[in-house]
Amino acid sequence: MASHQSTLTAKPKVFLIQACQGVAPHPGVLSKDLQADNPHPIFIPQESDVLVNIATVEDCEAFRNTKTGSWFIQSVCKHLKEGCPRNEEIEVILRRVNNEVAQKEGSAVPGARKQTPEIRHTLRKRLVLTLHRN
């Protein structure tokens, strides 16, 4: 993600993925925005400050209505429109998305086709998306 004092270091990176769906150590990346009282630089994990929201859990289908679009993306758009003007944290908004999508039915038979989005994150701070109006 962010390496070698990239402009992305210590900035949130958000990925919303609509798709069907190791043991390596965490290398450190120098953060130019963090300062310490000692002469040693402060390092943060390279994978910090990332949020990934995937339409469904591993090995499962993600559904899309041919007329209205994907359950996941439609719900994300709806809840961002509602939550961002109220300065809600992205995690709160995405939990609402997970709840709404999980309640949908993809078949005439109740419980036959379900979908659960998955949220993964390494955020270290609150993330609030704000609207800028012209």
Q: Running DSSP on this structure, what letter comes out for residue 89?
A: B
pLDDT at 41: 67
pLDDT at 45 over 70: yes
The four Cα atoms 91, 93, 97, 98 give a dihedral, to 10 degrees, of 30
User: What does the alpha-carbon distance between residue 80 and residue 88 come to, in Å, rounded to a whole number?
Assistant: 9
Please give the pLDDT value at position 31: 61
CA 123, CA 76: separation in Å to the nearest integer?
A: 19
The stretch 54-70 carries a mean pLDDT of 88
The topology (CATH level 3) of 13-121 is Rossmann fold (3.40.50)
Q: State yes or no: pLDDT of 27 exceeds 60.
A: no
Q: What is the pLDDT of residue 24?
A: 45
* Angle in degrees, 0-180, between the axes of helices 90-103 and 71-83, rounded to the nearest 10: 140
pTM over 0.85, yes/no: no
- The confidence band for 28, taking pLDDT boundaries of 50, 70 and 90, is low
